[in-house]
Structure 1
Amino acid sequence: MKLRSVELALTGAAEAAAFLTDIWGMAPAEVRGGTHYLRGSGGFPYLVALEEAAEPFLRSTTFVCSGERLEELKRSVAAAGLAARPVLSNDPGGGEGILVELAEGEVLRFLAGAEEVEPIEGRDLPVKLTHVVFNSADAEATGHLVEQALGFRVSDRTKGMVFVRCNESHHSTAFARAGFSSLNHIAFEMEDMDAVMRGIGRLRDHGMVPAWGPGRHGPGANVFAYFIAPFGPVIEFSTAVEKVPEDYAPGAPEDWTWPPNRIDQWGMSDKDFDGLRKAEEMFRHRRDWEAASLEV
């Protein structure tokens, strides 16, 4: 199982695509019916889809898996009683699978048979997405749900988040203890720390400063720098997320504490709590499809 892409609906999709390619550092993949697909240097056909819409919402977050894993998901999702339906992907890469709505409205898409593409050169392109994080009204309940219904594993718990993995990467998603449900942020995996720092410098050249970072997280130990994109969401340069073994023991909030006035391992940067909070409320979840039998 791998996290592949995130699909956003918003006003000004072309302008958002221009920012992500010209300044943030992605590469255009293609445009289909007004939806802009943007890729990184790795083998996924796209990492972000930007669809023109009257108002912003998070359409889906897409994972790719084997056919066998997809059949397991159909059974566990049906047993959990979640709203779901079979789907054929019309996005680059194709594939077929299922759409699943979690208890707080998060829509996840799981595809088997999706094609990959040849990697491309570009030292400042993100390689892939490293994680997509959601705000949650009840992060603990959602963490338990994805373990039960999706076969994901909780990696760590902090005062702020429940971190969840779907493979050996410490987290492919997390659920923030926010008191509401929405997109928290999208993290792009850069080649190395230098690529993260060059990205910070590139955005400074365009008058943008980090909303938090650079720093190094506790859970996952990844280097980070968060920005608030001009089109609304929180986006992150990230690298070197920890790989964990199958028997990794989840940490509890008391295992992840910092000295006074610090909120990451380095403690060298401030955090724009108010600005981030406003941006995190922008992209809510929306299901615009009817549930249907998965025929399991």
Structure 2
Amino acid sequence: MKLRSIELALPDPAAAAAFMTEVWGMAPSEVRGDTHYLRGSGPFPYLVAFEKSDEEFVRSTTFVCSAGDLAALKERVGQAGWPCCPAASEDPGAGEGILVELPEGVILRFLAGSTEVAPIEGRDLPVRLTHVVFNAADAEACGHAVEDVLGFKVSDRTKGMVFVRCNDSHHSTAFARAGFTSLNHIAFEMEDIDAVMRGIGRLRDHAHAPAWGPGRHGPGANVYAYFIAPYGPVIEFSTAVEKVPEDYKAGAPEDWTWPPNRIDQWGISDKDFDGLRVAEERFRFRRQWAPAPLED
């Protein structure tokens, strides 16, 4: 299973797409009606969709998987009684699968049979999404839920987050111990550390300073730089997320502590806690579909 894309609804999708292609460093994929699809250098047809809406919210976060994985997922979701419905994708890449609402309202979409596209050149394009993180009222309960029902695995726990994986990448998602539910941030996997640093420079050229970073995290060991996008959410340049074995032992909060005045491995960056908090509260979740039985 792989994290593929996130689909956002917001009032001005064209402006959001312009920032992401002209400043952040993505490539246009398609425009269908008022929805803009943007891609990276890798084989996924798009990584981010911006859909026109009077209000801003997360439409879905999409994972792609095999037909066998999808069948097993349908069975577990049905047994759990979570709100769900069959889904035939109308986005680039197509595919069929299910939409699922997690206990706190996060909407995930799982597709099988989705097509890929030829990779493109571009050393400053993101390759793919590396993770999408959600705020949670009860992060521990969310972690247990996705393990039990979705078949994901908790990789690590810290004082701030529960990190979850769906393959050998340390985390494809995480649940932040926020006390509320919303989108925390979207992380784009860059080719290497140089691409991250060039991205920081490019954003600075356009008067956008990092809200946090550059730095290197503990869990996952990825290099990062966070920015608050002008269209609302927190977005991250990231690279070198740790690959973990099947029997990786999940760490506990006491395993991930820093010396005083440090918030990452390097200890070189400041963090705009207040600005990040405001941005992290903006994009909530909205179910635009009615629950329906899943086909056998």
Matched ranges for 1:59-138 at <5 A = 59-138=59-138
Q: Shift of residue 18 of structure 1?
A: 0.0
In the alignment, what sits opposite 1:264? 264
CA contact (8 A) 1:147 1:153 kept: yes
In the alignment, what sits opposite 2:230? 230
Q: Secondary structure at 1:268's aligned position in 2?
A: coil
Question: Please, which runs of 5 or more residues in structure 2 have no aligned partner?
Answer: none
In the alignment, what sits opposite 2:26? 26
In the alignment, what sits opposite 1:44? 44
Q: Shift of residue 33 of structure 1?
A: 1.4
Letter in 1 for 2:5: S
Kindly, what percent of the aligned residue pairs are identical? Answer: 78
Distance in structure 1 (CA, Å) of the matches to 2:33 and 2:134: 28
Letter in 2 for 1:259: P
The alignment yields a C-alpha RMSD, in angstroms, of 0.4
- Asked if 1:250 is matched to 2:243, the reply is no
In the alignment, what sits opposite 1:147? 147
Q: Shift of residue 295 of structure 1?
A: 2.8
Q: C-alpha deviations, 1:51-101, integer Å up to 9, x for none? A: 010010000000000000000000011111100000100000000000000
Letter in 1 for 2:249: A
Q: C-alpha deviations, 1:236-270, integer Å up to 9, x for none? A: 00000000000000000000000001010001000
Q: Secondary structure at 2:176's aligned position in 1?
A: strand
CA contact (8 A) 1:80 1:148 kept: no
CA contact (8 A) 1:58 1:285 kept: yes
CA contact (8 A) 1:188 1:237 kept: yes
Distance in structure 2 (CA, Å) of the matches to 1:77 and 1:266: 41
Q: C-alpha deviations, 1:114-152, integer Å up to 9, x for none? A: 000000000000000000000000000000000011000
Q: TM-score, normalised by structure 1?
A: 1.00
Letter in 2 for 1:289: W
Q: Secondary structure at 1:99's aligned position in 2?
A: strand
Distance in structure 2 (CA, Å) of the matches to 1:228 and 1:267: 21
In the alignment, what sits opposite 2:4? 4
In the alignment, what sits opposite 2:164? 164
In the alignment, what sits opposite 1:200? 200
Distance in structure 2 (CA, Å) of the matches to 1:24 and 1:17: 10
Q: Secondary structure at 1:295's aligned position in 2?
A: coil
Distance in structure 2 (CA, Å) of the matches to 1:293 and 1:109: 15
Q: Secondary structure at 1:221's aligned position in 2?
A: coil
CA contact (8 A) 1:3 1:63 kept: yes
Q: C-alpha deviations, 1:143-169, integer Å up to 9, x for none? A: 000001100000000000000000000
In the alignment, what sits opposite 1:293? 293
Letter in 1 for 2:182: S
Distance in structure 2 (CA, Å) of the matches to 1:248 and 1:153: 10
- Asked if 1:182 is matched to 2:166, the reply is no
Letter in 1 for 2:189: E
In the alignment, what sits opposite 1:280? 280
Q: Secondary structure at 1:21's aligned position in 2?
A: helix
